[in-house]
Amino acid sequence: MSFNTFGHLFRVTTWGESHGPALGATVDGCPPGIAVDESMLQHWLDRRKPGTSKYTTQRREPDQVRILSGVFEGQTTGTSIQLMIENTDQRSKDYSEIAEKFRPGHADITYWQKYGIRDYRGGGRSSARETAARVAAGGLARAALAEMVPDLRITGYMVQMGQHKIDRARFDWDQIDQNPFWVPDAEAAEVWATYLDGLRKSGNSVGAVVEVTASGVPAGLGAPIYGKLDTDLAAAAMSINAVKGVEIGEGMAAAELTGEDNADEIFPGNDGQPVYSSNHAGGILGGISTGQDVVLRFAVKPTSSILKTRQTITKSGAATEIITKGRHDPCVGIRAVPVGEAMVACVLLDHVLLHRGQIGENRGRIG
Amino acid sequence: MSFNTFGHLFRVTTWGESHGPALGATVDGCPPGIAVDESMLQHWLDRRKPGTSKYTTQRREPDQVRILSGVFEGQTTGTSIQLMIENTDQRSKDYSEIAEKFRPGHADITYWQKYGIRDYRGGGRSSARETAARVAAGGLARAALAEMVPDLRITGYMVQMGQHKIDRARFDWDQIDQNPFWVPDAEAAEVWATYLDGLRKSGNSVGAVVEVTASGVPAGLGAPIYGKLDTDLAAAAMSINAVKGVEIGEGMAAAELTGEDNADEIFPGNDGQPVYSSNHAGGILGGISTGQDVVLRFAVKPTSSILKTRQTITKSGAATEIITKGRHDPCVGIRAVPVGEAMVACVLLDHVLLHRGQIGENRGRIG
Amino acid sequence: MSFNTFGHLFRVTTWGESHGPALGATVDGCPPGIAVDESMLQHWLDRRKPGTSKYTTQRREPDQVRILSGVFEGQTTGTSIQLMIENTDQRSKDYSEIAEKFRPGHADITYWQKYGIRDYRGGGRSSARETAARVAAGGLARAALAEMVPDLRITGYMVQMGQHKIDRARFDWDQIDQNPFWVPDAEAAEVWATYLDGLRKSGNSVGAVVEVTASGVPAGLGAPIYGKLDTDLAAAAMSINAVKGVEIGEGMAAAELTGEDNADEIFPGNDGQPVYSSNHAGGILGGISTGQDVVLRFAVKPTSSILKTRQTITKSGAATEIITKGRHDPCVGIRAVPVGEAMVACVLLDHVLLHRGQIGENRGRIG
Amino acid sequence: MSFNTFGHLFRVTTWGESHGPALGATVDGCPPGIAVDESMLQHWLDRRKPGTSKYTTQRREPDQVRILSGVFEGQTTGTSIQLMIENTDQRSKDYSEIAEKFRPGHADITYWQKYGIRDYRGGGRSSARETAARVAAGGLARAALAEMVPDLRITGYMVQMGQHKIDRARFDWDQIDQNPFWVPDAEAAEVWATYLDGLRKSGNSVGAVVEVTASGVPAGLGAPIYGKLDTDLAAAAMSINAVKGVEIGEGMAAAELTGEDNADEIFPGNDGQPVYSSNHAGGILGGISTGQDVVLRFAVKPTSSILKTRQTITKSGAATEIITKGRHDPCVGIRAVPVGEAMVACVLLDHVLLHRGQIGENRGRIG
């Protein structure tokens, strides 16, 4: 992963600013012969699209993706694929103030310190709009995974908003699509709705924790030492805007466990393959998948663009204050759910290809 | 980062198994003219060395590092540097049982599932002994950073063992070297000593949280979108054996904050450079360093090699149980402290070089 | 270099097929603050444009480049730059026959054998149209080099067409732009015009040798062992469509020299820097630039799309014959000249950045 | 390929100087389960070993390779493999003069100009001794290829020494191992022996052309656009010390052919697979292997370390002259033969893995 590219064999390079003419993803290394069309990618983009509820930014971005290369007669050709999304709702006037001031908690100041120039319109390259390109690339990865690992399922959902956590006892996969928060707990959805409405009206924002579970991941994906599956998942998650923490399985809570409690015991399953008493490991041991569910969790900080007055400085170094008007997400964690799924899809496909490259289709059966 | 290599311009490739003849790191891209000798690297290795207290494994590994290439007359030449550590304490007999059984919570089973072959002696490639090579490479990175960014300081320490956290109000940098836990809280050191002694005697183990702070990091290091400084730090930390969670600044707790609380306000400093009211961001905004302290935290799970009986299966898929005799760390988090420091050093040097490559020495002054 | 990306720090990923909606280059790692606009890139594209004389294909492709990202208010921002060229002249009917047959000497058959699918319209991804994206990226590299290494000059020209070589005694830099062949020998230009006219009318094609000279290259660019400047130049040249041989300095003729003859003797120059008695080395020793002119030469094979009947097979494996109608270049070497220049520009900028990254601005003065 | 690493999935990083304690190769990405031991690697190293005839340097280097990691119980484990060769014949006194002077035609001056420091003993990192590490890595690649592509054969040989070329009409594969020049033409071997003896006695040296043929290469290896098989072969060959030109198939002579002559016509073979009337393409079309013999040729310049007086300068910039005493190769092309084979083996294995990664075992059958 370097600069604007991530992945080893399935490589995604994104480009574009929030208020330029377009943005997109250049995808390299996709297997050939994968059935894909624009509507399949659009399906995932629509989940991330702003303005779907009052809990996300009210910008109007249709986020229509076009496939400009690498797909012929409905199938990938194995060559580089260009996915382009044109920007249509560019109300630059909302952002004029931030040309001279730095929003606290935002990349404004660091882009300036690094490059000495920045596209300040809507955050430019640092805008979360970049994640639309990831979701398009993730849709492509899902299409390839659907053919190569048909049992694989990748599902993202929110498990925490502010201090409100879900109750795992009420976890219901079917609830995830039934509320604007992708939350698997119907009662939490109601509490969060009230809570976020209050925050939104007060011009404030709040953080969240997103969890992505991948089931049906074959054992053996990943590679020591610096190409571990969890290393790449951590990097992928941390690369998402506003993410400040990443966990696999028990995550930070692993610190509290003893070795006796943490060890997922192993038993022979009916099909001769191992089954486990628990999944503290989050499906990954030594950087390699076990065949259990891969469980990734990441924390998204609250949006820094808020209607609250904050102290800051100008480009000239003078003290000032700032309120960021505009149409922002009160909880960007919501729209981070499909982004997290997309990143997991890209990483998993990459590791499926890497494994096949080094090792082939079969290795290391137990029994 | 891929397979056994990490880094972009300053690249480290490690090799070797715990019970092979030697292990080491091949380091590429180091700047030339850096003064370095074996004793400078040995200094850091001695901090990680096993057997320094009763709280770490009683294996006797002197971990003497040799520089086999890339250093001439006391200076780096700019060409590839080989750092080799010969293995001397190879009591293979301790590990004979695990040739046929998989330790729960250990990479035994996944290496087998991936490769169909594994060096089972002492964990082979999955052993934490590999981290000695990282510490050697980190020593080299520190030597280069000392010349290039003299004010940079990298300090690791433990902030949690099991459920016992430090009291931040008692945080004292000078305490870190005064106890066997690298803990900046003298009272915690006493509590932990008693706690860990009990665990050790019962043949159990426990997890920990390690924090690494880098002060004096110049603003502007890192790069969007997939070469973010925090992306690389997260990957570096997650690549360390047994790590299950990674945090920058507020980390997972960022989920609980509002945008108003999370935004580190900015003020003009005496030298014309920005100062901040707080450091929720952990020194990184938009993937780029702000000039504040970079704060990385990671959770280490408890060692899976314990003297407790656990259920498992054999290579043939038969149910069995296992007790892992041998000389293991009751809390590997202790020895993960110098490893975490080393990884931070490598990542920071890499980003210093990347920044200089793309941008040169100066960009984007404020004021 | 891998799949569709080349370069280390200055990285170019190209995408697009000859008859898709568009093609382009995604450029990453460009230094910020470089003044660039579309007209500066268009200047170089116009040199490569088809249909400028009767000696190149009569397709009508305006090859208008658009900058979609990474440039703000006339300057590069340091983030990824998307250069897109829309395809406008897509007469697919010319290519219908090759959907079922493989042109001898063309990538038709190998794309099919590799991928099992290919975009057969106009060669798809294997078309030399892809080189338009390289020329656009090369224009960007030239803009950065113009600011970073103002004395650098990159000039490409033809030195051989078929069996007709230039006479080095008549070499005249000013002639290069005065004829449709970019040939620095006015007499050769006349001979070649007659020769190529005959070939063109008979529906045949011919190969060529292109030379690119870079003067003003600072000493010290390149890196042992696998990042040598000549390694990257060789790879860059060999990646151009139809190239079958690459030479640095004496090239293949170095085999015929003795050590006494080949050694470019060194003398102290007026400015204290070394001067050389000759340049057999082509400006590169041990993979690192000497400060002399860097001289790269490459051979381009004749176009395989010709109006001559050739024996071939169908996708079903049946014997057949083929004549490739359409509007093809009788000597693709002509249009390879600006492509070769572009590749040299990209490689040199990449190595300028790599050198600055590892070493900084100054090292190793003589005297 | 970057700095000291080459390869994509099968990656080789070499390290070590000619007069340091040791040198070697760190090999990553090798498939697991490949039977390999030190004697298998030694076989290839012995072919490159100095002092085997009066036509190579009389240094005594046993070049014994040790496998320090990544091989367990006679099989590769899939983890990183360290191949180390200790240096034993370090007569540094032969090289004392070159500490202050630069040998014309040698990397002495450019290493100094780049790094400001160099290990001048025996050329340090720029010494051809580094190629021993490549040959060891190539032995490993051959072992993997022997299991994965059993019909593959890689054979290197010299086709030109100075102005003396072989007569292709006398080409005899069985002759290659029968003379000290690896030349497939018995008459040429006699002429070359007399010629080189004269050069050697006069303290001079001469260049050569080496050809490597790989038969049994499956169709479909390689990848457009910058991961072409010939791109990687060209880079691999150009990375070898003293190489100044690289050719695939017709190479530079492709410039002289018409499209009609150059097009290798295709016919249906007995097994339903294509057969070709000729192999101008050298087994590669569009960067992808055709299934024909892959033919790589490269020119090696004469050794610059000769017993002839040449003009040069000192580190201080003063004019001086130099004679390089010591035990040098009159024609390094001889020992470049096994090196060329090794590089081809590494590139082919890398592309076998890359192809399997992206595409799997089977794609694109004809018929």
**Sorting pLDDT into bands at 50, 70 and 90, what band is C306?**
confident
Q: Would the CB atoms of B77 and D125 count as touching at under 8 Å?
A: yes
When the pLDDT of each residue in chain C is averaged and rounded to a whole number, the result is 93
Residue D74 DSSP class = T
Q: Would the CB atoms of A79 and C24 count as touching at under 8 Å?
A: no
Q: Would the CB atoms of D317 and C281 count as touching at under 8 Å?
A: no
Chain A residues whose beta carbon lies within 8 Å of the beta carbon of residue D31: 358-360
Residue of C nearest to B144 (CA): C358
Nearest to A126 among B208, B224, B333 (CB): B224
Chain B residues whose beta carbon lies within 8 Å of the beta carbon of residue A232: 1, 235
Q: Would the CB atoms of A79 and C21 count as touching at under 8 Å?
A: no
Q: Quote the pLDDT of residue D215.
A: 98
CB contact set of C263 (below 8 Å; sequence gap of 6+): C280, D103, D104, D105, D304, D306, D310
Chain D residues whose beta carbon lies within 8 Å of the beta carbon of residue C239: 225-226, 228, 231, 287
Nearest to C357 among B79, B225, B353 (CB): B353
pLDDT top residue among C64 and A324: C64
> Which tokens is A252 given?
């930070």
Query: Helix, strand, coil: what percent of chain A each, to 5?
Result: 35, 25, 40
Residue D106 Cα distances to B71, C256, D313, angstroms: 21, 18, 13
pLDDT at C1 over 90: no
pLDDT at A1 over 70: no
Residue D304 DSSP class = S
Q: Quote the pLDDT of residue A165.
A: 98
Q: Quote the pLDDT of residue D304.
A: 83
Most confidently modeled of B95-104, B256-265, C139-148? Answer: C139-148
Q: Which of A5, A352, A359, A363 to mutate to test the interface with D (most CBs of D within 10 A)?
A: A359
Backbone phi and psi for residue B230, each to the nearest 5 degrees, phi listed first:
-75, -30
Q: Is B122 on the interface with D (CB under 8 A)?
A: no
**Sorting pLDDT into bands at 50, 70 and 90, what band is C361?**
confident
**Euclidean distance between CA atoms C121 and D285, whole angstroms:** 18
Residue A277 DSSP class = S
Q: What is the 3-state secondary structure (H, E, C) of C20-34?
A: CCEEEEEEECCCCCC
Residue C132 DSSP class = H
Backbone phi and psi for residue A157, each to the nearest 5 degrees, phi listed first:
-165, 160
Tell me the per-residue pLDDT of B305-319, one tens digit each, with 9 for 90 and over: 788 899 999 999 999
For C257-283, letters b (16+ CB in 10 Å) and e give: bbbbbbbbbbebeeeeebebeebbbbb
Chain C residues whose beta carbon lies within 8 Å of the beta carbon of residue A119: 72, 77
pTM of the model: 0.97
pLDDT at C30 over 60: yes
Q: Would the CB atoms of A359 and D79 count as touching at under 8 Å?
A: no
Chain C residues whose beta carbon lies within 8 Å of the beta carbon of residue D160: 255-256
**Sorting pLDDT into bands at 50, 70 and 90, what band is C59?**
low
Q: Quote the pLDDT of residue C251.
A: 98
Q: Count the Cβ atoms, other than its own, within 10 Å of residue D133.
A: 29
Mean pLDDT of C244-262: 96
Q: Would the CB atoms of B69 and D22 count as touching at under 8 Å?
A: yes
**Euclidean distance between CA atoms A107 and A113, whole angstroms:** 10
Residue B361 Cα distances to B358, B365, C236, C355, angstroms: 10, 12, 29, 13
> Which tokens is C305 given?
């799309």
Residue A14 DSSP class = E
CA distance B358 to chain C (A): 5
Tell me the per-residue pLDDT of A188-205, one tens digit each, with 9 for 90 and over: 999 999 999 999 899 999
Q: Count the Cβ atoms, other than its own, within 10 Å of residue C210.
A: 28
Q: Quote the pLDDT of residue B364.
A: 80
Tell me the per-residue pLDDT of B14-43, one tens digit each, with 9 for 90 and over: 999 999 999 999 999 999 999 999 999 999
Q: Quote the pLDDT of residue A354.
A: 97
Mean pLDDT of C245-252: 98
Q: Quote the pLDDT of residue D62.
A: 83
Q: Would the CB atoms of C79 and A4 count as touching at under 8 Å?
A: yes
CB contact set of C96 (below 8 Å; sequence gap of 6+): none
For B219-231, letters b (16+ CB in 10 Å) and e give: bbbbbbbbbbbbb
pLDDT top residue among B306 and A67: A67
Chain A residues whose beta carbon lies within 8 Å of the beta carbon of residue D360: 31, 356, 361
Tell me the per-residue pLDDT of D279-301, one tens digit each, with 9 for 90 and over: 999 999 999 999 999 999 999 99
**Euclidean distance between CA atoms C99 and D137, whole angstroms:** 42
Mean pLDDT of A331-359: 97
pLDDT at C216 over 70: yes
Which residue, among A227, D224, B290, A125, has the nearest Cα to C4 in the 3D structure?
Answer: D224
**Euclidean distance between CA atoms C267 and C248, whole angstroms:** 22
Tell me the per-residue pLDDT of B39-74, one tens digit each, with 9 for 90 and over: 999 999 998 876 677 777 766 678 999 999 999 999
> H-helix or E-strand containing B25?
strand B22-28
Which residue, among B79, D187, D182, has the nearest Cα to C222 in the 3D structure?
Answer: B79
pLDDT means per 10 residues, chain D with 367 residues, are 88 96 97 97 88 72 93 97 89 71 94 93 90 97 98 98 97 96 96 94 94 97 95 98 97 96 93 93 97 98 87 94 82 95 98 96 80
ipTM: 0.96
Residue pairs spanning A and C at CB distance below 8 A: 143
pLDDT at C126 over 90: yes
Q: Is D280 on the interface with C (CB under 8 A)?
A: yes
CA distance B291 to chain A (A): 9
* In chain B, residues 158-187 whose CB comes closer than 8 Å to chain A: 160-163
Q: Would the CB atoms of A31 and D358 count as touching at under 8 Å?
A: yes
Q: Quote the pLDDT of residue B92.
A: 54
Q: Quote the pLDDT of residue A59.
A: 66
Q: Is D79 on the interface with A (CB under 8 A)?
A: yes
CB contact set of B66 (below 8 Å; sequence gap of 6+): B38, B83, B84, B85, B86, D21
Q: Quote the pLDDT of residue B362.
A: 75
Mean pLDDT of C122-136: 93
Mean pLDDT of A266-282: 94
